[in-house]
Structure 1
Amino acid sequence: MKSTAFPAVYALLRVAADTADHWVQSDHQAQHKAKPGAEGHKALAAHVASYTATQAVALLAGNRILGLGLRGRSMAAALALSGATHYLIDRRWPVRRAAEALGKGAFYQLGGPLGGAYLLDQATHHLVEGIAAFIAVRDR
């Protein structure tokens, strides 16, 4: 039943994302992923690869253990959306520009990099993970 699979899939994606962002991501990746040029893109690509792999492991294990009945193509589509948007969000400028456009520029600057900027970054990731969870369960 989609209504019971959705919260399970969202929880799996969210737990994996938090783990990937805060435990799996290296210090180097965290410090360099938003830098301009090849250095930033290389660090971010490595982070997104490990992030997506962490979510894939969680989703595959959860699907098997919980018997969610997810299809491979739906899980792949959900992971592709999560990974691609994670790359964009973690460049930082898209979230900053969106915050400024929506009148949240002061909130974005509040409390330094772990204040408003971090909260808006995480809220954007959560939103996308909700959409990814829907994609994962849509055709089961």
Structure 2
Amino acid sequence: MTPARFAAIYAALTAAHEVADHWVQIDDQAVNKGQRTRNGAVACAEHVITYTATQAAALAAVQRVTGMRLSWKRAALGLAISAGTHYIADRQGGHWRDEKPRGIVRLAAATGHAGWLKRDPNAGYLMDQAWHKGWIFVAALVAASAGETS
């Protein structure tokens, strides 16, 4: 893996994340994805499908424009990491201040962030985005780690 290869893949996945999370995701998905219902699970899955498709399109664009050849097995694994961790986080949506937190909210509280989550109305969104971008970093490492193959 070269630094340029990793940087290109990380930049593509991160840019696609911003587009997919803020432009591609429709309001119904954003509002419902955190509901503890079947409808919430479906809304979240629909969002993650379009999110992952947006990231895949960004990787394809990088490959096409730069001539960098990606291992699509490694890229698919990286996309799966990004998608899976995105779904986990987004199922928390709207529950950052619950009395009985779950998942990553519990993790945030256990690592000393409970007060911030309750005090700052932006803390949940910032923790969510930090979670996504941290996992995008891991996904980019995985996707960039293969040699120059097709």
TM over 0.5: yes
> Normalising TM by the smaller chain, what interval?
over 0.9
Corresponding residue number in structure 1 for 2:52? 52
Distance (whole Å) between structure 1 residues aligned to residue 78 and residue 85 of structure 2: 11
- Paired residue for 1:123, among 114, 130, 143? 130
Deviation of 1:107 after TM superposition, in Å, equals 1.5
Deviation of 1:57 after TM superposition, in Å, equals 0.3
Contiguous gaps of at least 5 residues in structure 2: 93-101
Deviation of 1:3 after TM superposition, in Å, equals 1.3
Corresponding residue number in structure 2 for 1:107? 116
- Paired residue for 1:136, among 136, 139, 143? 143
The aligned amino acid for 2:86 is H
1:70-112: CA deviation from partner (whole Å, max 9, x where unpaired)? 1110111111111111000111242211111101011122332
The aligned amino acid for 1:100 is A
Distance (whole Å) between structure 2 residues aligned to residue 117 and residue 95 of structure 1: 10
The two structures have a TM-score, normalised by structure 1, of: 0.94
**Identity within the alignment, %:** 41
In terms of fraction of residues, the more helix-rich structure is: 1
Matched, 1:97 2:103: no
Corresponding residue number in structure 2 for 1:79? 79
- Matched residue count: 138
CA RMSD of aligned residues (A): 1.1
The aligned amino acid for 2:36 is P
Contact 1:95–1:120, Cα closer than 8 Å, also in 2: no
The aligned amino acid for 2:30 is A
Distance (whole Å) between structure 2 residues aligned to residue 110 and residue 53 of structure 1: 35
Distance (whole Å) between structure 2 residues aligned to residue 107 and residue 125 of structure 1: 19
SS in structure 1 opposite 2:10? helix
Question: In terms of Rg, which structure is larger?
Answer: 2
1:50-84: CA deviation from partner (whole Å, max 9, x where unpaired)? 00000000011111211222111011111111111
Q: Which moved more, 1:27-36 or 1:56-65?
A: 56-65
Contact 1:110–1:117, Cα closer than 8 Å, also in 2: no
The two structures have a TM-score, normalised by structure 2, of: 0.88
Contact 1:108–1:117, Cα closer than 8 Å, also in 2: yes
The aligned amino acid for 2:117 is Y
Distance (whole Å) between structure 1 residues aligned to residue 138 and residue 123 of structure 2: 23
